[in-house]
Copies of this chain bind each other. A is one copy, B any other.
Amino acid sequence: MQAVLFDIDGVIYQGDRIIPGARKTIDWFKERKIPHLFVTNTSSIPRSALAVKLARAGIDISEDRILTPAVTAKHWVKQHVNGPVALFVTDSTQSEFQELELLDSQAESGAAALVIGDLGNLWTFEKLNQAFRLLMAEPHPALLALGMTRYWHTQNGLQLDVAPFVVALEHASGANAIVVGKPAKEFFDSALEILGSPANQSVMIGDDIRGDVKGALVAGLKAILVRTGKFRQNDLTQGIEPTAVIESIAALPDWWMEQ
């Protein structure tokens, strides 16, 4: 094994609490100068805020060690889109898109692309309807989804993530979303390119049997499932076979040594 991709939520954190052994494991990889990247579908906050959050837990990394769907979306738009972009992301995540030409925030036509992130309770009927009208305007814009996570576990209960809103827009408008983020193969490919590591010598560690494990396996990586975060026993009966299942990120150095 040459390189490792860490999921953040559910692997390093459980809610706002750091998972025991997480910091030690990351230090272990750093000390050995093993190439690593933090790969998350979080679209509600930018990489700068993720780095601050990790630093508070004693994990010091620079922003460019974090890959998010917003980063890939920006690259995709720069390569494929000629015209203004309509962002449906939080104000703080907008900072990831600074270089792009943005559509007026009230406009209902004229977008060359829409970028849909996890807006949580900032979604209103008017905002969703605005995205719909933009999609129906001619010429039809591209529709980018920052991941396709269905929901997540908050301290107050389950909460809808980005995917339900993307499928609502697809169904209403007939558009097909381009998914950037896990589990898209292109997202794992980008991570490997940054790391300079071949797929079969790289390993993804995550708590999501589909987004992390299946996505990584399809992209040719090894994939380790942790029994923390959103892990449920039932995940092991879905016909998806992780390379290994470990108790938590704390057990990762042992697994690595065995290879």
Binding site for B on A (CB under 8 A): 108, 119-126, 128-129, 132-133, 136, 150-151, 157-160, 163-165, 167-169, 171-172
B158 contacts A163, CB within 8 Å?
no
Report if A121-B126 is in contact (Cβ < 8 Å); known contacts: A167-B171, A172-B160. Answer: yes
Chain B nearest Cβ from A192, distance in angstroms: 29
Complex Cα–Cα for A159 and B130 (A):
9
- Chain B's nearest CB lies how many Å from the CB of A240? 16
> Is A125 a contact of B126 with CB atoms below 8 Å?
no
Least CB distance from A6 to B in Å reads 26
Q: Which residues of B contact A150 (CB under 8 A)?
A: 171-172
A165 to B132, CA, bound (A): 13
Please name the residue on chain B nearest to A136 by beta carbon. Answer: B158
Contact of A129 with B169 in the complex, beta carbons under 8 Å: no
Within the assembled complex, what's the spacing in Å between the Cα atoms of A20 and B158? Answer: 51
Q: Which residues of B contact A129 (CB under 8 A)?
A: 121, 158-160
- CB-CB under 8 A from A159, the residues of chain B are 129
